[in-house]
Amino acid sequence: MRDQFPILQREINGHPLVYFDNAATTQKPSSVINAMNHYYANSNANVHRGVHTLAGEATEGYESCRTSLKKRFNADRAIITSGTTEAINLVAHSWGRANLSDGDAIILTEMEHHSDIVPWQMLAEEMNIELRYVPVQNDFTLDMELFEASMKDVKLVCVVHISNVLGVCNPIEQIISIAKKNGAKVLLDAAQSAPHQLINFKQIGADFMAFSAHKMCGPTGIGALLVSNEAFAEMKPFMGGGDMIETVSIHGSTYQTNEQKFEAGTPRIAEAIGWTEALKWLDTIDLEKEHTRLIESARWLATKLREMGMTVYGRHDEDDAAVVSFLHPTMNSEDLAHLLDARGFAVRTGHHCAQPLLDRLEISGTIRASLYFYNTHEEVVSFIDCLTEILERFS
Ligand SMILES: Cc1ncc(COP(=O)(O)O)c(C=O)c1O
C-alpha cells in the first residue's frame, strides 16, 4: 500500500518520513494525483452547459463524484462544498436562517471543532437563538444525561462524530434517537469519521453530514454536505450566481431544484475527479481490519507514553480513532515537535481548532499523533524509540 503514496518515499532531515498528522490531512495515492493531472492535460473545460466533448467529459467527471458519494454513504442528496467548514456554514445560512426563530435553541458539544461552533455563534449574534453545550466528562465522553435533559426548544443538534483531539467516537445512534424524539434535526460533523468508517447516512437518520476529501486521501478544497430529503426541502439558497439558477430576468430568478441550487459558480472539477479516485482507493481497503490494526497501535502508543510519564488524553476504545494526544509534564510541546521533526516525524501541536475542549481539559494544547491506513506499527515503535532518545538527551 505504501508504494502507492509517492510522498512516503521522502526523507525529512535525512530520515525517512513518518507522517503522523493524518487528522489534519492525509497523503494522496498516485491514482488521485494522476487523475487530476489527466483531467487538466486532457479534459479541462467548464461543466454543465457546454455541448462540446471536453465540457461533457468535465461534467461527467464532476457529477461522478456526487454519484460515488451518494452510493458510498447511502444518501439522497450530496452537495459539493469546499470542505467540512463550508458544509457547516451552508447549513447555518441555508437551513438555520430559514427555519430557526426567536427562542429556539441549538445543542453543540464541548468537543466540537471550531468549524462547528463559530458558524452557530455568528448565527446566534444575528438571531435570538440560544446555544447549549453538552459537557465533556472526566472519562472524555459526553454527558448524555444532561444532553437529554437539555432538549427543550432545541431545533438542531450539532455533534462531532469522532473528536479530532481525543479520537473519541460519540454515541451518534443514541444522540440522533434522542434528538428525533424531541423533534430536532441533527448535523453530524464527520470530518474524522468518514475517512475511517462506512457510514450509512440514511440508516443512522441524521439530517446533515459534513466531511472533507483531504482527510480521506482526496484533494484539498473539496468536501460534501449530505442532506436528508426532508431537510433539503427546507433549505433556501445561500450563494447566488451561475449554475444555481434555472432562469434569470431583470425581474427575478428561479433556482435549480437539485444540489446545484447550493453550488453557485464554477465548481471544483479537478478536485471532484481526484476525490472520486480517492473513494475508489478507499474501496480497496478492508476498513474494519485496518481500523482494528490502527486502534491497537494507538493503544500501545498511549500505554508507552503513559509509562514515559506523559499525560495522554482520550480512551482509545474499540470504535475510537487512532488519535493520540499527549503532553510531557515539563517539556514544551513545540520544542518536542521540532526535535521529532528533525528526526523525520510529523506530528501536530497546539489547540487543534478545539479551544473549548482544551479549556475544559484545563490545557492550552497537546502534541497529537494521528494514524492512517498507510502507517505501520513499526513506525509507532520507532516513534517511541525516538521520543525515548530525545527525553534522555534533553529533559
Ligand atoms: C472534527 C473536525 N471538524 C471539522 C474540521 C474542518 O475541516 P476542514 O478544515 O477540512 O473544513 C476538521 C479539520 O480538522 C475536524 O477535524
Q: Domains in the chain, ordered, with CATH? A: 2-20+286-394 (3.90.1150.10), 31-283 (3.40.640.10)
Query: Of 82, 85, 355, which is best to mutate to test ligand 1, by the most ligand atoms within 8 angstroms of its C-beta?
Result: 85
Q: Is there an atom of ligand 1 within 6 Å of 212 CB?
A: yes
pTM (2 decimals)?
0.97
- Structural element, H or E, at residue 262: none
Nearest atom in ligand 1 to 212's CA: 10
pLDDT, one tens digit per residue, over 168-217 is: 999 999 999 999 999 999 999 999 999 999 999 999 999 999 999 999 99
Output the nine-digit C-alpha cell for 261. Answer: 441550487
CA of 49 to the centre of ligand 1 (A): 33
- Structural element, H or E, at residue 371: none
How confident is the model at residue 50, as a pLDDT? 81
pLDDT, one tens digit per residue, over 330-373 is: 999 999 999 999 999 999 999 999 999 999 999 999 999 999 99
Q: Is there an atom of ligand 1 within 6 Å of 191 CB?
A: yes
If one counts every other C-beta atom within 10 angstroms of the C-beta of residue 339, the result is 18
Q: Is the pLDDT of residue 394 over 90?
A: no
pLDDT, one tens digit per residue, over 14-63 is: 999 999 999 999 999 999 999 999 999 999 999 987 899 999 999 999 99
Query: Do residues 274 and 26 lie in contact, with contact meaning Cβ atoms separated by under 8 Å?
Result: no
Q: Is there an atom of ligand 1 within 6 Å of 81 CB?
A: no
DSSP-derived 3-state class of residue 241: coil
pLDDT, one tens digit per residue, over 135-181 is: 999 999 999 999 999 999 999 999 999 999 999 999 999 999 999 99
307 pLDDT band, cuts 50/70/90, is very high
DSSP-derived 3-state class of residue 180: helix
Q: Is there an atom of ligand 1 within 6 Å of 26 CB?
A: no
CA 289 remoteness from chain centre: 21
Average pLDDT taken over every residue of the chain: 97
263 pLDDT band, cuts 50/70/90, is very high
Quick one: residue 374, left, alpha or beta (phi over 0 = left, psi -120 to 50 = alpha)? alpha
Q: Is the pLDDT of residue 98 over 90?
A: yes
395 pLDDT band, cuts 50/70/90, is confident
| Residues with a known catalytic role | 353
CA of 144 to the centre of ligand 1 (A): 24
Nearest atom in ligand 1 to 163's CA: 1
Nearest atom in ligand 1 to 162's CA: 1
Nearest atom in ligand 1 to 220's CA: 10
Beta-strand ranges (E) seen in 92-153 are 105-109, 130-134
Output the nine-digit C-alpha cell for 195. Answer: 475517512
Q: Which residue, judged by its Cα, is nearest atom 15 of ligand 1? A: 191
